[in-house]
Structure 1
């Protein structure tokens, strides 16, 4: 059995046993806390956020993300008809790639078609299902924890050995900061994101009465299989115009084009708990998704029955299918370059 070493963890970071993977590696749950009583929990299977607990009164905390109570449930969720990727880091490439195929440096590369005819979220065994090592922790101005994973050359048929670090930070102003760095031994493509489902009224509720704002006037046009066409649509002409906050949609799976002059991507607000979450990022898009569920087959935390409106995802990233559209921002990570992606989930009581 492979064990982690916890001696480097600081007082603001606690760890506990979470389960054993089939290869014998031990998975732990790490909880970061701040002086306000807020807690952020992550496991090193998929570098997955399992819980974000925020005080809403002297006697009540609200857990604002969906998740499971044990490792087996996380593993089993990937066998569902449409895996929810609950709280995981997505890679190498978030979103869809048309027919799982792209050309890089004149060479056509065929990836797994794990979503009908297309490639989705890194393939059959993407970063969401991998064991991540704990590199280090800090507790200077705020607690942080860094996870590392090395993706081997041709893993899921992606070129290059890719070395990734994901750091989670919890600030004293109730911000969860997620920061990614990566480099590759060869030219490759890369598009990482975090796939937490948020619900500001608690993970056992639904999002239907919460208010969504998306800081975008354009969205990507897609075909019937939700593959980008390469064109952009003004949201004023679309169903999904959230330039003024309105109730969360019952179903959405759309990429919004962000204005690079501002880091604000979106926000979510609950009148019931008076909690607001603002999402900041340095990425080109935020993919909003409502519709993930467990099909009545796996219970969530505290025996919750997750349905299609249990949570909403804010997948900050580059554009889906970017390798196949020259007019999209480049997703190519060249040998020797450093990939850097930062997303902040800022929580406040209104």
Structure 2
């Protein structure tokens, strides 16, 4: 069996080369696109094809029309099938063995070939690229950052490259300043999927507002579904000497909001639902329509996968959240997938939480803090040293 790699401008041209050099019995094993150095657009197409050179019995092939289109030429021709089931199965097994071998080799050298022109990148920026990949940023985004830094004449050390890579990796992230309050009453609702840490996050902010801003605060629980949730929130509110009320309907919530006009802050804890629970989201939307909060915080955990994080933002967008609270940073091995998800689903971040301590482990969001969580010193020290 002969295996050959073809580089062409497009798939049509590549198939033509395969047909010309290997014949119509060739089998395409794999194909991939090669992007331009700047990551924008396709520079070429790489196709790996194979042909079985083992002696064959003379078999009369059907005559083909001369005007047959290239796209109509089968990848595995009828000629191969007509050899007989046993020979075909042996050939197929051999092809799969060769394909697995190629995949194994590609896997071993994948990081190095992703540079595309690695000869242009010196060791500093190659190390930056690999560190970005270890942090679970995408190949394209990591290469773009490393290439951008490499093109700058004023970066001469790994430390300088590290600082700049943190900036580039998080510059797309939007930040929303915390609400100060005091001038007028502020009603804030906390929404999000089950287990995201809404209740703990709410009580942290309530205690911070009371201790630092000396604010008059009311906590309203509209979450009657979580077992023990009401008791937990009521207990924490009592410890902090914060007023607390439970509601079960939208009308009850509306009446309390209208009655408690002299408060500085009203924090509303809502029930947690799966993003796929449409009826649950509709119930929350009904509650929010009754109280018309100035702020709606979408609370999501940094431990989520990138796809789940994006899906949750998409589904909860029906509630029109103003900003995001990113929780459990201390429990996330890496937040690279979260950072990538925020590129495709832009929503401002207001707060970050990084522990269980109440109220210490919460802080206003900043790109600097996010970049440190994304690319911690420990990761770079371990890799570079």
TM-score category (smaller protein): under 0.3
Which has the larger share of helix?
2
When normalised by structure 1's length, the TM-score is 0.23
Which has the larger share of strand?
1
